[in-house]
A and B are shown apart, each in its own frame.
Chain A
Amino acid sequence: MNKWIKVACDAALLLALALAPYYLSSYHLSLLGRFLALAILSLGISITWGRAGILSLGQGVFWGLGAYVLAMHLKLAALAPGDMPDFMMWSGLDHLPAWWNIFRNPFVALAGVILVPTITAGAMAWLVFNRRVSGVYFALLTQALALVFSTLLISEQAYTGGFNGLTDFNTILGHEIIDPGFQRAIYWITLVALAVAFVFCRWVLNTGFGKVLIAIRDGESRVRFLGYSPAAYKTLAFALAGALAGVSGSLYILHAGVISPAMVGVVPSIEMVIAVAVGGRSSLTGVVLGTLLVNFGKDAISSAIPELWQFVMGALFILIVTALPKGLVSLPNLVLRFKALVFKPSAPHALEGPNV
């Protein structure tokens, strides 16, 4: 019975999201599209942080790699063969670098959106985890990576567009990006991508692989003694999160129309983690809802009172982490437990769910 109610809820939610282009203004549709794209990244954080206990403060890097790869393709698609983007000419380059040119091909760009962040994330994770460095050290190293990535993007202006980043995208695969009909199509593509990613992540977590990740989180040494290689599992999980981040970044810029270093540095990377923490780090549904909630909240607060947002975000972070580490999705369960405690003191733990 309960299961069917849950399925009906999911279906209703999905239907409401699918019909959004018909009842939302184009501004709010664009926001919703961006945040659904971000939710794909949050699924990755849920796998690494929620399940395997790996906190990354540098997801913005992998997100940014996916976004920049697609942005490079979009910049080139708007140009005649042999031309260069305007910022390169201003910076005094005399020809297009080869590593830019390969992304002119849409299939190479699409592969790059997934492969570049996946390989970067995998390499970083293997180099660190293989030496049994983890936990706080890994978080700090990924934060350093985010800092390095954003300063590098700003300083290498001739190749990256510098502080302004890449913008003015016109066409993709022959379609006008700003055309309202195509914007609607991009929204549906984002929604489908999120749904596919969600189902895929749920499947992954139900396999043996997912179980080993939880075991690693709860007792890495024991897993090692049982003959598993925690480093390999963690690397694979982190590379998967990197791939999801790359897809998320590339879909995001189709809605936002711009990618810049300010969107990929230390602070945005941590904001991605906040959204996941607020929703509930180990619940896939929770992280999607958390991402939508936090980002719409941020938009509402920072357009009304800009100074307030940092206070709210800081307080939210402290409150959630100290008082509600399992996020907002654990609230109903807590309420039920509280009720059970008050009304049936004999069975206080009767309604406690499985500890995942």
Chain B
Amino acid sequence: MGHFAIVAGQIFNGFSVGSILLLIALGLALSFGLMNVINMAHGEMLMVGGYLSYLACKIVHGPMSLLFAFLFAFVGSALLGALLEVTIIRWLYGRPLDTLLATWGVSLILQQGARSLFGPIGVEVVAPAWLDGAVSFNHGFLAGLSMPYVRIFIIVVTVVVLGLLTLFIARTRWGLYLRAVHQDREMAQALGVNTKLVDLLVFSVGTGVAGLAGAALALIAPVTPTVGQNYIVYAFLVVIVGGLGSLFGTTLAALFVGLISSAVQMFTSVSLADVFLLVLVIVFIQFRPRGIIFARSRNMKEA
């Protein structure tokens, strides 16, 4: 394997990790930007999505089972998110640190619930036959590089989700409401936008996308009760680097985090790569304290 192939392989890994982080972070960034709410149970939405896709694959067989599993995971996590919003988060607006703690309680309950239902050991989702195999290079300067179809599929899913979300925000009426609430909640309310419904919609779409990420992740790793914990801290770093409520910023940040951590892992261990990543994020906020992309505002709101 040549140097080019190793570097290209790590870049591919970076995109692969980054795309899963992006699916998780999109919901976090949207609901944080819009509602100033941090959902610590977001990682558990990923876990729920993984288990739902496992259940779906038990019920439906055949080549189209995966499609059904993704749909099931999305709808299930979105409904759970909606339930969470209505029962807890709605009552804690304006107290961001408290939402963080209350949703941590939710995450503990969901984790233990999963452990009681499915056991502490992970369950496996077997990827369908048409995702077996990899794009391999046997000749030329990329000889030895191998890109599994499953990972390419996950990147494609991420791109599709990102495209649909962009269309939704830029082209639909509810997307317009969302942008209005993001810019000025009171004014939007005064003009007749149902902000509560917008909040509910954004929050559940965000958790649904996290569930989708869980279904995607289930294809490459077993689903365990604590699978969400492995990703959520990185997803938060993505939100910090990306800035609030900007899809573009979040995308850049997710790729940045994914690429950096897989690049650093070439030279050191995984745990030292984590240290490096945190140091880099702290250095980054010295230069751009409000993230890559942020909306300029004269608002003195202290969040």
Chain A interface (Cβ within 8 Å of chain B)? Answer: 49, 53, 55, 124, 127-128, 131-137, 139-141, 143-145, 147-148, 151-152, 154-156, 219-221, 266, 270, 273-274, 277, 307, 310-311, 313-318, 321-322, 325
Say yes or no: is B124 at the interface (Cβ < 8 Å to chain A): no
Q: B109 to chain A: which residues have CB within 8 Å?
A: 310-311, 314-315
Please pick, from B96, B275, B282, the residue contacting A136 in the complex, using a CB distance under 8 A.
B96
Most chain B beta-carbon contacts within 10 A, residue among A135, A137, A219, A311: A137
**Could you tell me the distance between the alpha carbons of A194 and B236 in the complex, rounded to whole angstroms?**
35
Chain B proximity of A333: nearest CB distance (Å): 19
CB pair A313 B100 closer than 8 Å: no
Say yes or no: is B233 at the interface (Cβ < 8 Å to chain A): yes
Say yes or no: is B71 at the interface (Cβ < 8 Å to chain A): no
Segment with Cβ contacts to A, from B59-67, B110-118, B172-180:
B110-118
Interface size class of B (residues with CB under 8 A): 35 or more
Are A144 and B229 CB-contacts (below 8 A) given A136-B38, A317-B102? no
CB pair B111 A321 closer than 8 Å: no
Q: A132 to chain B: which residues have CB within 8 Å?
A: 289
Say yes or no: is B85 at the interface (Cβ < 8 Å to chain A): no
CB pair A128 B112 closer than 8 Å: no
**Could you tell me the distance between the alpha carbons of A156 and B269 in the complex, rounded to whole angstroms?**
10
Q: A220 to chain B: which residues have CB within 8 Å?
A: 302
**Could you tell me the distance between the alpha carbons of A124 and B279 in the complex, rounded to whole angstroms?**
10
**Nearest chain A residue, comparing its CB with the CB of B237:** A144
Q: A148 to chain B: which residues have CB within 8 Å?
A: 271, 274-275, 278
Q: B239 to chain A: which residues have CB within 8 Å?
A: 140
CB pair A221 B300 closer than 8 Å: yes
**Could you tell me the distance between the alpha carbons of A148 and B272 in the complex, rounded to whole angstroms?**
8
**Could you tell me the distance between the alpha carbons of A134 and B240 in the complex, rounded to whole angstroms?**
11
**Could you tell me the distance between the alpha carbons of A144 and B270 in the complex, rounded to whole angstroms?**
15
**Could you tell me the distance between the alpha carbons of A22 and B274 in the complex, rounded to whole angstroms?**
48
CB pair A55 B100 closer than 8 Å: yes
Please pick, from A53, A137, A313, the residue contacting B105 in the complex, using a CB distance under 8 A.
A313
Please pick, from A131, A143, A156, A314, the residue contacting B285 in the complex, using a CB distance under 8 A.
A131
**Could you tell me the distance between the alpha carbons of A318 and B88 in the complex, rounded to whole angstroms?**
8
**Could you tell me the distance between the alpha carbons of A317 and B99 in the complex, rounded to whole angstroms?**
11
**Could you tell me the distance between the alpha carbons of A143 and B303 in the complex, rounded to whole angstroms?**
18
Are A144 and B233 CB-contacts (below 8 A) given A135-B303, A139-B97? yes
Please pick, from B36, B112, B269, B286, the residue contacting A311 in the complex, using a CB distance under 8 A.
B112
Say yes or no: is B248 at the interface (Cβ < 8 Å to chain A): no
Are A318 and B286 CB-contacts (below 8 A) given A144-B278, A277-B101? no
16 residue pairs A–B, Cβ–Cβ below 8 Å: A55-B97, A133-B285, A133-B289, A136-B32, A148-B274, A152-B271, A155-B270, A221-B302, A266-B229, A311-B109, A313-B108, A314-B108, A316-B105, A317-B102, A321-B105, A325-B95
**Could you tell me the distance between the alpha carbons of A266 and B104 in the complex, rounded to whole angstroms?**
11
CB pair B106 A314 closer than 8 Å: yes
**Nearest chain B residue, comparing its CB with the CB of A150:** B271
Say yes or no: is B91 at the interface (Cβ < 8 Å to chain A): yes
Q: B55 to chain A: which residues have CB within 8 Å?
A: none
CB pair A135 B233 closer than 8 Å: no
Q: A136 to chain B: which residues have CB within 8 Å?
A: 32, 36, 38, 96-97, 100, 303
CB pair B112 A314 closer than 8 Å: yes
Q: A134 to chain B: which residues have CB within 8 Å?
A: 302
Q: B111 to chain A: which residues have CB within 8 Å?
A: 310
**Could you tell me the distance between the alpha carbons of A6 and B286 in the complex, rounded to whole angstroms?**
48
> Which 6 A-B pairs give the minimum distances between C-beta atoms?
A317-B105, A314-B108, A155-B271, A314-B109, A310-B112, A131-B289
Q: B270 to chain A: which residues have CB within 8 Å?
A: 151, 155
Most chain B beta-carbon contacts within 10 A, residue among A127, A148, A311, A316: A148
Chain A proximity of B156: nearest CB distance (Å): 30
Q: B97 to chain A: which residues have CB within 8 Å?
A: 49, 53, 55, 135-136, 139
CB pair B302 A135 closer than 8 Å: yes
Are A318 and B102 CB-contacts (below 8 A) given A131-B289, A141-B281? yes
**Could you tell me the distance between the alpha carbons of A134 and B97 in the complex, rounded to whole angstroms?**
11
Chain B proximity of A24: nearest CB distance (Å): 31
CB pair A152 B102 closer than 8 Å: no
**Nearest chain A residue, comparing its CB with the CB of B274:** A148
Please pick, from A53, A133, A321, the residue contacting B101 in the complex, using a CB distance under 8 A.
A321
**Could you tell me the distance between the alpha carbons of A321 and B300 in the complex, rounded to whole angstroms?**
26
Chain B proximity of A341: nearest CB distance (Å): 22
